[in-house]
Amino acid sequence: MASNNNLLQPQLPKFTGKNYSQWSIQMKVLYAAQDLWEVVENGFVEPNDQAVLTQQQLTELKETRKKDKKALFFIFQAVDEAIFERISSCTTSKQAWDTLFASYKGEEKVKMARLQTLRGEFDMLRMKESESVEDYFNRVISLVNQLRINGEKIEDQKVAEKILRSMSRKFEYIVVAIEESKDLSTLSLDSLMGSLQSHELRLKQFDSGPVEQAFQSQKETNDEGSARDYGYPRGRRDYGYQRGRGDYGFPRGRGDYGGYSRGRGREQGSSLSNIQCYNCKQYGHIKSTCKNKTNGGAESSFVHEKASERENDNVVLLAYAAAREGNVCAEKWYLDSGCSNHMTGNKSAFVNFKHTNNSEVRIGDGGKLVAKGSGDILFLSKSGEQKRISDVLYVPDLNYNLLSVGQLLRKGHNIQFREDQCVIRDKYNSLITKVQMSGDNMFSLNIKYESFACLSALIKDSSWLWHLRYGHLSFNTLSLMGKQHMVRGLPTIQHQTQVCEACVLGKHQRNSFLTGYSWRASHHLELVHSDVCGPMNTTSTGGNRYFLTFIDDYSRKTWVYFLKYKSEVFDYFKVFKALAEKQSGFALKTLRSDQGGEFSSNVFENFLKENGIKHQFTARYTPQQNGVAERKNRTIMELARSMLKAKAMPNRFWAEAVACAVYLLNHASSNSVEGKTPQEAWSGLKPCISHLRIFGSIAYSHIPDETRRKLDDKSEKCILVGYSEKAKAYKLFNPLTNKIIVSRDVKFNEEEAWNWSEAENQSPILLDIGLENPDLTPPTTSSSQESSSQGLSSTSSSDSSGTKEYYAYAA
């Protein structure tokens, strides 16, 4: 019987030229089952002389030939006529298999290109609103199989995370519940699909639309008016938070869909046809969705709306806190999942309030409130750190402060409800706060508001003054520089606990890149890091949208160039190379950058090869490998934003602020260069910084006698926008003439700032700052001490004897 089975031909998959990956997998399984794969994969060698073979070797050779012909026959039978013509001349199964592999599987480059395309499709996967869970799972699994066939190692955990991350909005709450209650490393895709399909089924059963519960400020006593509909008790419907109210079938929740344990709502069926409205006494809907609302009776603070209303109203689904008797605590905030935005009625809590067009706020009793503005609220955490609540609505008639769970989730925060505690973490998993449930089953927290420091008062303090002059560099860094005498002219800096508004607005706290151990250069230009930042939302005064940085790994000195287009990178690299090599006396050995087209063009690569420069690329989608340049650009932008915000300057001055930030960072301590500033590590000279002034300050520039008449003013009022690298002077902007001037004779009023609302209607600024390089070396000695209002010393004519000394620096 066994021998007869061997004569039966198995059913063969058909290869048509378009399904090679699937066909090859099926054929491999078939060959393995028939004990033929070894001869197909490795082939065999025909002996030159069979006469020297033993009888056993001859028997093995005969058996191998038989297997090879059988495997070749299977291949011939498993392809269509067009493909058969390609392999008809093949005499061994390995030859035929390799021919098909080379023709249809492609070389490694083709495979990598296919992988890149598939990876992009995987990253862009999103569930469609009309798509079912089963259809979306099939689409994801099909793409994952294609990735695996092409050599991608992708674990089920990553697939599960992708599915949860890309589900449509109606699955938002169940996704949060699954992430909090399940271990994704052990969760199978089948189990995940089952959980999501169960939720999908419930959504279909209750197709009248979700009933959004609002914030409850008082305990209801009337059962009919206290959220009996669908068993929601006094609060929010969080789909899946343990001990949350109105859970979709998770244990210990109150008022569950379907009457799980401890639920206080009625057990409902799968249809609303048996539901009686407590308002109009008719069947088919519930009280909160009743169109025949009356003013009588106790109203639950429900908020609801139709889908069409969501698209037209600026503020919807806002929770409403009914007024209680007694005083309202201005610093107490309540967490609410039925509230779509943070909101407060306390205007004094805002630190940067903006008036906006009045927006309607719908409340639970059918009434409306008006939001008259928005802004941020600054508070002090228990650890002493300043935290910010952003995008808070100002609703004057609101008696309570509400934190929207939905808005926190949209901002990337992680919210966990555990027993009687709510834990809130930011998107980098750093703990923000823990909130205990109060006796009335609400989550409330007290917030201690912080106010910004007044600039005029700060300038009188030397520590604050140098914080502002140094582009809002941290007090710890300034204190370290003073203690270790890294620069000349810096007084002793005391750490301040008061909040700097520009730092809060311009800097965003986040976790640093994980650097670990990394190789460091042992001399100048042994390794240079480079990166492009942009495009910026606003074109600079010189018409630029990008900036390009080069960082010497040994000294951490930075050069910056401004670009209109990324294609200019190569030209500026040649300028930088010539400048840096001339200054240092070293040749550039290695350039590290990402794989952007501006760095990987043929002309760029050929230039590097001709000059013996090694080019190190970071892996795609892995900016951390270029961490030095990435962190530097981030720090530059933080300082630039802070300087612009501090003086309320227009964003078009971003290039001047960036150039100034680079100059300041070159003259500030670096964790990578012990006991020195980057400027000293590069040049060997200790810099003097007593010439620094606050960016954006009012500056009075002296007008030379040769350019004015007898009764003309002897100075013009300008704004400090940086330091010139082409002359030992300040770079100033005159808002009245819209011109940039360079002057050495300057007096400053650092407390004042220009009223830009008067200057914005002027004609455009015409300026090209295409080459702004912090490349000048400060002198070894400094001039005599300046007064607090005096800038650089100056000469009255170009034929000065040279007895006076000046500070040299660049923007």
- What confidence tens digit (pLDDT) does each residue in 58-67 have? 888 889 989 9
Read off the pLDDT of each residue in 654-683 and give the average, rounded to a whole number: 89
Read off the pLDDT of each residue in 70-84 and give the average, rounded to a whole number: 88
Nearest to 807 by CA among 731, 730, 750, 749: 730
Of 136-150, 164-178, 502-516, 568-582, the least confident: 502-516
Give the β-pairing of 354-362 and 368-380.
antiparallel
Extract the tokens encoding 354.
């903006």
User: pLDDT band at 619, cuts 50/70/90?
Assistant: low
**For residue 308, is pLDDT > 50?**
no
**For residue 739, is pLDDT > 50?**
yes
Read off the pLDDT of each residue in 474-482 and give the average, rounded to a whole number: 75
Extract the tokens encoding 786.
């300046």
Nearest to 601 by CA among 562, 561, 567, 550: 567
User: pLDDT band at 278, cuts 50/70/90?
Assistant: low
Nearest to 521 by CA among 462, 584, 603: 584
Read off the pLDDT of each residue in 772-785 and give the average, rounded to a whole number: 35
Q: Percentage of the chain surpassing pLDDT 70?
A: 68
**For residue 545, is pLDDT > 90?**
yes
* Res 173: pLDDT: 79
How far apart CA 116 and CA 129 sit, in angstroms, is 27
Of 97-111, 343-357, 405-419, the least confident: 97-111
Inter-residue long-range contacts of 190-193, CB under 8 Å, 24+ positions, other chains counted:
192/160, 192/163, 192/164, 193/133, 193/134, 193/137
Determine whether 787 is exposed, middle or buried from the number of CB atoms within 10 Å of its CB (0-12, 13-18, 19+).
exposed
* Res 531: pLDDT: 93
**For residue 525, is pLDDT > 90?**
yes
Cβ-based neighbours of 157, under 8 Å, separated by 6 or more: 184, 185, 187
Of 394-408, 466-480, 609-623, the least confident: 466-480
**For residue 569, is pLDDT > 90?**
yes
Read off the pLDDT of each residue in 733-762 and give the average, rounded to a whole number: 79
Read off the pLDDT of each residue in 284-293 and give the average, rounded to a whole number: 65
Cβ-based neighbours of 600, under 8 Å, separated by 6 or more: 617
- Taking the chain, what is the end-to-end CA distance rounded to the nearest angstrom? 90
**For residue 216, is pLDDT > 80?**
no
**For residue 513, is pLDDT > 60?**
no
Q: Percentage of the chain surpassing pLDDT 90?
A: 16
* Res 283: pLDDT: 66
Supply the Cα-derived Rg of the chain in whole angstroms: 36
Residue 209 pairs in a beta bridge with: none
User: pLDDT band at 624, cuts 50/70/90?
Assistant: low
pTM of the model: 0.43
**For residue 578, is pLDDT > 60?**
yes
How far apart CA 556 and CA 83 sit, in angstroms, is 60
CB 540 within 8 A of CB 655: yes
* Res 803: pLDDT: 28
CA 794 to each of CA 110, 612, 704: distance values in angstroms, whole numbers, following the listed order: 65, 44, 11
* Res 777: pLDDT: 36
Q: Which is more confident, 694 or 6?
A: 694
Q: Which is it for the CA torsion 498, 502, 505, 507, positive or negative?
A: negative
Q: How many CB atoms lie within 10 A of CB 536?
A: 17
Read off the pLDDT of each residue in 560-588 and give the average, rounded to a whole number: 94
Read off the pLDDT of each residue in 413-434 and give the average, rounded to a whole number: 80
Extract the tokens encoding 277.
């409205």
How far apart CA 704 and CA 701 sit, in angstroms, is 9
**pLDDT tens for each residue of 111-163:** 677 778 888 888 888 898 888 898 899 899 988 888 887 778 888 889 998 99
Of 83-92, 611-620, 625-634, 742-751, the least confident: 625-634
* Res 282: pLDDT: 67
How far apart CA 547 and CA 242 sit, in angstroms, is 49
Per-residue burial over 203-222, b if 16 or more Cβ lie within 10 Å, else e, is eeeeeeeebbbbbbbeebee
User: pLDDT band at 265, cuts 50/70/90?
Assistant: very low
Q: Which is more confident, 400 or 558?
A: 558
Looking at every residue in the chain, the average pLDDT score rounds to: 73
**pLDDT tens for each residue of 343-392:** 888 887 777 778 877 777 776 556 678 888 888 887 766 555 667 788 88
* Res 242: pLDDT: 41
Nearest to 267 by CA among 252, 282, 257, 254: 257
Read off the pLDDT of each residue in 70-97 and give the average, rounded to a whole number: 88
Read off the pLDDT of each residue in 697-714 and give the average, rounded to a whole number: 82
CA–centroid distance for 228 within its chain = 42
How far apart CA 543 and CA 664 sit, in angstroms, is 24
* Res 657: pLDDT: 94
Q: What are phi and psi of 779, to 5 degrees?
A: -70, 165
Read off the pLDDT of each residue in 303-308 and give the average, rounded to a whole number: 35
User: pLDDT band at 398, cuts 50/70/90?
Assistant: confident
**For residue 497, is pLDDT > 60?**
no
**For residue 214, is pLDDT > 80?**
no
Q: How many CB atoms lie within 10 A of CB 764?
A: 10
Nearest to 208 by CA among 286, 300, 142: 286
